[in-house]
Each structure stands twice: as C-alpha cells, then as structure tokens.
Amino acid sequence: MDGSDVSGSPLPKTFLDFLSQNGLSPSLYAASSQSIPRYVRLKPGFESHIGDIEDEIGCNLVEVPWLPNFYHLPPEIRIASTKAYREGKIYGIDAASGAAVLALNVSHGDHVLDLCAAPGAKLCMVADLLEGSGSLTGVDIARHRLAATRNILNKYALGDRCRLFVADGTKFSLIPLRASSSSNSSRGDASETYKEWEARRRAWKERKLLAKTQNKCTEAEIREDPEVIFYGPRSGMVGRSKASVYRVVDEHQISDMGYDKVLVDAECTHDGSIKHIRKFEQWGWTTLPQRVLEARRSDELSALQLNLLTNGFRLLKAGGSLVYSTCSLSAAQNEDVVERFMSRNPSAGKT
C-alpha cells in the first residue's frame, strides 16, 4: 500500500493527500495509541481527595494548567473500576471536549443548550460549571446514546437542573423554561402536567431489542414533538403543563427568552482524533477512505453541520454565545461551514 511510515504504520496515500489538501502534517498522527494520555476531570469539591485517588490508581494526577479540574494519566490506567469513578468523583473526558466547553464561557445562571449532547461528558462539565444555577438542555437524535447520557448525569448527581430530549437537532425548537416565561401560544393538553421524574426500567429483552433497532434514530423515527427522556427536579419541568413546555414561540420571543449559551459539537468524520485514526490499524486502512474521506459522506456531514449550527444560532437569546466544534481537521467541516453560516447570518459575530 502506498503511504508514509508513521510510527511503524503506513498511512494510505488517500489520507496523506487529504492531509496535504488541508495543510496538515502526517507527523500529527505519529503518536501511538499507547503514548496518548488519558484525561479525567475531577468533580469540583473533591480536590482534597486527590491524594487518595492517586494512591488508588497508583500514579500521579498531572494537572492540565489551561483546563480547570482536568488531569492526565498514563494511557494504560483504567478508571472504571476505581472507587473514585464509581462514587462520581472523576469522569473521563478528552481535553479537546473540555476546550469546547471552556470556550462556551458558562456563567452562573446561564440557560445552556447542548444540541448534540451524547455521550454526555461535555454535558457533565457544563452542569459542573453552572454550580446548581440556570438550566441545561441536552438534545440528541440517538436514543440509546442519550439514555447513556442520562445514566451518566445520574451517576455524578448532575441532573438536577437538566432535561434531555430525543430530537433532531436541526429542528429542535423548545426554549428554556425561564421563571418568567409564559405560555400564550401552546400545544397539547394543558391539564397534563409533569410530575417528579421516575426511572422507567424496561424489561431486559425490550432494552436489548431497542439496542439493536434504535442504534440511531432517523428523522422519520423522531416524533413530531421532541421526546423527553429525563428531567431533573429543578429543571423547570416539574409542575409544568405539557402545553407550556412544548409551546410555539416566534423569533421575537426566542430573542428575549432563548438560550444564553449553545454548544454545537457536531457529528463529523473524526479525522482529527489520533486515537480514532489509529484504530484503522486493526480495522484495515483500506476502509478509511469510505469511512472518513468519501466526498459524498463529507458533503452530507457538512450540510448537517450547517443545519445544526443554523438552528443553534436561531435558539440563542439576543447577546448569547454559541460554540461550534468538531473533531475533524478538514476545512470543509470547520472553516467552510462557518463561512457559509456567516454569509447567511450577517448579524452573527465571530470570535
């Protein structure tokens, strides 16, 4: 196979051409999976437990200076079986994901929307930063992944002010439940109100069937109204009528009552993830062009990314902030998407 040797493994010529077209060096992928550190975030309030955590895992937690509460560990360290992980003191999250949340500049009292919320690590970090204030709305089109997000929020006791919706992020239109919001225009039966959330455990066979048949919901499978699969006791849902939650609002109302911050960490080809690219050593390099480089896939993704970005911006309160991020290094999925968006939305400011 044509390629360039990177850490003993050849990158295919098609991928080298892709890197060249995007002004990227193959040396970015020289690191082996065994040399890439593992990142964890320490839940605020547990700083005094660092020594105990280090004793348990048998190595030092090395602080990441530019990411508050982030530490890196040797890649061979497994945290899932540790007491600190089971008790919700630490959770795994990539530094790049942490950087996207940090850029959001979450402030006390913000109402935040994560439009591509699964698998949930960024949502947890946002919840931490809100410090029991404001609200957090997570949306994802993949039901099983959002269910895992719900489990993570509950595990780390971070779901108090959160609500989760299975929905198409390009069409999601529910605004945050601010204390002063009204329901002059609404849908549904106003007599139906939300009570305290109770976990509804499905039979094992049903859950197994869902895992097979609902790996990823298509647009046709998403009901007209977003489906709520979790809400915390202080998310604003309890005691609300379904009509007030699903009320129709116009653009003027969104400008006044929309989200303070929106995160659009969009689906992408993951070519910027060294760990992901190195997996092709096992999967076979011949499969990389179809999974990562195929023009049709790239075009479909860039269209999806633009639609997610556009809808996220539409749901922003006037003066709010949006962060758009991907784990791709291609201009087509980053700069080009942003430029197309800016050309259609001149009122948006870029930083």
Any idea what the Cα angle at residue 88 is, between residues 83 and 92, rounded to 5°?
Answer: 95
Q: Give the residue numbers of the binding site for S-adenosyl-L-methionine.
A: 140, 168, 265
What integer pLDDT is reported at residue 206 of this predicted model? 42
Whether residue 135 contacts residue 111, with contact meaning beta carbons closer than 8 Å, is answered with: yes
Active-site residue flag, 59: no
Second-level CATH architecture of 96-176+188-351: 3-Layer(aba) Sandwich (3.40)
Q: What residue segments make up the domains of the chain, in order of their start?
A: 36-92, 96-176+188-351
What whole-number distance in Å separates Cα of residue 146 and Cα of residue 166?
A: 7
Which phi and psi angles does 51 have, rounded to 5°? -60, -45
> Quick one: CA torsion of 118, 124, 127, 129, rounded to 10 degrees?
-130
What integer pLDDT is reported at residue 104 of this predicted model? 97
Q: Can you give the pTM of this predicted structure?
A: 0.87
What integer pLDDT is reported at residue 182 of this predicted model? 47
Catalytic residue among 116, 217, 268, 327: 327
- How many other β-carbons are positioned within 10 Å of the β-carbon of residue 81? 9
Whether residue 4 contacts residue 16, with contact meaning beta carbons closer than 8 Å, is answered with: yes
Whether residue 329 contacts residue 271, with contact meaning beta carbons closer than 8 Å, is answered with: yes
pLDDT in tens, the chain (351 residues): 344 444 444 688 888 999 999 999 988 888 766 678 999 999 999 999 999 999 999 999 999 999 999 999 998 998 989 999 999 899 999 999 999 999 999 999 999 999 999 999 999 999 999 999 999 999 999 999 999 999 999 988 999 999 999 999 999 999 999 864 544 444 445 458 999 998 765 444 445 545 555 554 444 454 568 999 999 999 999 999 999 999 889 999 999 999 999 999 999 999 998 888 888 888 888 888 888 888 888 899 999 999 999 999 999 999 999 999 999 999 999 999 999 999 999 989 877
What integer pLDDT is reported at residue 220 of this predicted model? 40
Second-level CATH architecture of 36-92: 2-Layer Sandwich (3.30)
